[in-house]
Every structure is written in structure tokens, then in C-alpha cells.
């Protein structure tokens, strides 16, 4: 039984008993005991712990956690304090500065300051083996994270979904409620940022939408 500590416990209560999650749990139990897996098992559901269902204003969907030592802590694109800012996040910071003029920290990649404002930093896959990108991409996490997206899609309070890159873009089909805003762009990685991420202005567009719908903007 997973305990998140907020409304997500009720909304996801049926998921924990489903066969896919029971199989997923067995794999995780084995892998955490036999090898190095990121993030720490107590951080797996941090995205949900930090942003309750009713408090969510923005969803940023990542693929899977960083697989380097000390990086992942349960929030997409974010790293622990004191860890070098990854290239994709550096490009996110550059676009924020270009878009809304807010200077970004040079040595701080911890995005809990966004989570605390209602930005759900959700990876589609919530764990990864050390040094092996996508190593847990086929063990069942998407069943759970897709359900989280569906639950948010059905909410009657408007929010913004930011889909960066082809992988996140596949989640577009789950977002059918016309009250929400979905913004798509290239992935912010160095390989693709210049092909549509830079200049996307997603941060100002997000805040404009939130203000238009009676919500406070995000302090990016």
C-alpha cells in the first residue's frame, strides 16, 4: 500500500491492488535490493507528495529520472541541491530568461520552488537503474502515470499541460478536456532545443492562461 499523504491517496487507491502495480512492486523490490536504482525509494512519489490534486496548476511531463549519482529526487527535470544543473534544465532556464526576463539560478537545479506553487513535475516512468536510461520504461509505470494524467484531465478546474519532445507529446491523446491548455514544443535537450523549444514562450503563455482563469501566475 502506497501512502502519499494527500488527496492522491483516495484518487489512486484502486491502482495499488491492480495486477500491473503488484508486478511493478515485485520488480522494484528486487531491483532496489540488488542494484542501484534512482531516486531513493522514499522519493519515488515526490511529485504527487508536493502537489496535491486540487493545487495543481501546471503539469510538466518528463520521460524518466536522471540516472546519474545524486541527481534524481522524484521531480521531472529537477536535481537535488548542490548537483550540477543538467543541460536540459539549463536550456529551460535560458528560455525562461528570454521569455519573461526572470534571471535564473546558475548553480541550483532544485525545482521544488515550482512544485510549491502547484507545478506537477511528473515523469512518465518514476524509477531508473543507475547509468541505464529507460531501464524501467517497460515495467508498468506508464499505467499509473497515464491514469494520473486522465484524473487531472477530468478535473473541472483549468490547468496547463506542457509537453516537450515527442515522448511527452504522445500524452496529448489523454488530454481531451477543452478547459485545459496544452502547449507542445521540442524537447529542451541540447540536441533539439534549437528546433522549437527556444522561443516557444511557454512560461508567459502559461501565466497568461492562469491569470485569465483567476489563478495566480507561477514565479518561474
Q: Provide the annotated active-site residues.
A: 64
Q: Is 86 helix (H, G, I), strand (E, B) or coil?
A: coil
> Which H or E run contains 23?
helix 19-34
Beta-ladder partners of 129: 37, 132
Whether the CB-CB separation of 209 and 180 falls below 8 Å is answered with no
DSSP result, 151-176: HHHT-SS--EEEEEHHHHHGGGGG--
Please give the grid coordinates belonging to residue 176. Answer: 481531451
Amino acid at each position: 500500500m502506497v501512502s502519499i499523504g494527500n488527496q492522491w491517496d483516495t484518487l489512486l487507491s484502486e491502482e495499488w491492488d491492480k495486477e500491473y502495480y503488484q508486478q511493478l512492486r515485485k520488480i522494484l523490490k528486487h531491483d532496489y535490493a540488488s542494484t542501484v536504482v534512482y531516486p531513493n525509494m522514499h522519493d519515488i512519489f515526490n511529485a504527487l507528495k508536493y502537489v496535491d490534486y486540487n493545487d495543481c496548476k501546471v503539469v510538466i511531463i518528463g520521460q524518466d529520472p536522471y540516472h546519474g549519482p545524486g541527481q534524481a529526487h522524484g521531480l521531472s527535470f529537477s536535481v537535488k541541491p548542490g548537483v550540477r544543473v543538467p543541460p536540459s534544465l539549463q536550456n529551460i532556464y535560458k528560455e525562461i530568461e528570454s521569455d519573461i526576463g526572470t534571471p535564473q539560478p546558475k548553480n541550483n537545479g532544485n525545482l521544488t520552488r515550482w512544485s510549491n506553487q502547484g507545478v506537477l513535475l511528473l515523469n512518465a516512468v518514476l524509477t531508473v537503474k543507475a547509468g541505464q536510461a529507460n531501464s524501467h520504461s517497460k515495467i508498468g509505470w506508464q499505467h499509473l502515470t497515464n491514469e494520473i494524467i486522465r484524473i487531472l484531465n477530468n478535473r473541472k478546474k483549468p490547468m496547463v499541460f506542457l509537453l516537450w519532445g515527442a515522448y511527452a507529446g504522445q500524452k496529448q491523446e489523454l488530454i481531451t478536456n477543452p478547459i485545459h491548455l496544452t502547449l507542445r514544443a521540442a524537447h529542451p535537450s541540447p540536441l533539439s532545443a534549437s528546433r522549437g523549444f527556444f522561443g516557444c514562450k511557454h512560461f508567459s503563455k502559461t501565466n497568461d492562461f492562469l491569470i485569465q482563469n483567476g489563478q495566480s501566475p507561477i514565479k518561474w
